[in-house]
A and B are shown apart, each in its own frame.
Chain A
């Protein structure tokens, strides 16, 4: 798998048993609520997904049963909390197939994970005249931290263009990987368009030039199986809240050899072995990068979310979502004046579209009154919007609990908006 150019394998399983969507939906208490008198149709999963009961329960039982600070006390609650916290790390390690728990660092989310790498690895590796490379698909969180670094260092941020389908142009990547490139930042899956990048191939291309790679997995982790060793990436980041877990918690995977040489991100408690006014000795991995009392409940909740996802199986989740994507794509294309933005061959469950005569904001408001939650705007990916010459899109992003019936409600809502405005 180390040289396999894509992750199609994970997105198109043929042997998977179909999931029981009704049972899945019963796991999510919020899905039974109504919005403006209509059943909630939650299609804003790329922004944040809803939480299964097991995640809510995990946090509740922590707080009701054994909560205390971690890595500190000799008392029972502290030890129980520490065990639960570190169990979350083991689950994250297994989920990503990382070689060691030393390579799993908890952050506030993908954004902080990327900032951590830019501020430590980036700051020690990037100098004046150097280049940092990203793609034209990136979320602002995989642009701005590098831009700040480049400004500070007098380096140059460059981006690999994308084609009309929203795919990274690999010939351009090849050309832009120069002797000055110090790191490549790339989305595994695009948040605005759903494009699944051929990350194993991209990592191989970068490594051939000696360029380390950070993959932004915020939109990938909930939808495709992730294996950091098979992909070969140097860093991988994802967020808890998009994978049915709590907000405010995320994971940075980094190769131990790189993490060892990186300076700490923040100073404080937990990240030290000993402190005097003359000298501080930093803690071992991964604690070197986890200053202060961490998000204990977040990690416990994330662990429960990863258990839940693993229990269903990412191959089955991907198969379900892919079927919905195909159905949704076909249904949307029936609507006159509607254009789907992002038509990559390999795509996760994102339907981003524009419609003649109906501004996305109006679309979003009308759909809300049908009970349908979608994202409208630039999706924190303004360069992507510019590339396609649109100020904004409406984005329906799917998750394991969505159904074809919900797609039908979306389509009916779009038709209603068209009648009103177009």
Chain B
């Protein structure tokens, strides 16, 4: 396998995509949001249970590629016990690492640095995080990778229109 491909599909990513953690609904959720990438059909519903300002529990359900599934799985592991501000900061660092491969310490999430070599896959990695942000804000609306970028202007990698047939 080529080194770039191995860099993208690191063991930890493959592991989380095959055996996603916190892959369940959360009956006690205080917030939930549904994320959707219309270009590839990836869907992720993220559930958050806040206790005060702190993430007591977080989980997800959905179907997607290995990158989006692993990203959601590792995101849920990284978030437990974090405050909302800490979660936001982590998202910023994650996003900069995945989209630009420049970021401070990320721990296990650094596994996603290989994604930046694959601009069309950056959205896969960031979909769960965008969805999480909505869940934390208690937004009921569905998150779409396309709308997200259009309205917030923080394009992941290169925004491309849908290709021909």
Contacts and interface: CB of A to CB of B under 8 A. Distances in A.
User: Do A and B make up one complex?
Assistant: yes
B40 A219 contact: no
A36 B2 contact: yes
Given A366-B5, A391-B41, A380 B67 contact: no
B121 A361 contact: yes
Contact of A369 (B5, B40, B65): B5
B19 to A, nearest CB: 12
Contacts of A361: 40, 42, 65, 67, 121, 124
Nearest to A109: B164
Interface residues of B, number: 26
Given A359-B66, A361-B67, A421-B18, A377 B40 contact: yes
B65 A362 contact: yes
B43 interface: yes
Contact of A392 (B8, B41, B118): B41
A174 B42 CA distance: 36
Interface string A363-389: 001100100000111111100010000
Contact of A421 (B5, B14, B43, B118): B14
Contacts of B64: 359
B5 to A, nearest CB: 5
Nearest to B42: A391
A380 B121 CA distance: 19
B2 A377 contact: no
B39 interface: yes
Contacts of A366: 5
Contacts of B8: 365
A207 B64 CA distance: 45
Contact of B165 (A369, A380, A385, A421): A380
Interface of B: 1-2, 4-5, 8-9, 14, 17-18, 39-43, 63-67, 118, 121, 124, 162-165
Given A369-B2, A391-B43, A391-B63, 19 more contacts: A46-B165, A47-B165, A139-B165, A141-B165, A191-B165, A218-B165, A219-B165, A359-B42, A361-B42, A361-B65, A361-B121, A362-B67, A365-B121, A375-B163, A380-B165, A385-B41, A391-B42, A392-B40, A420-B9
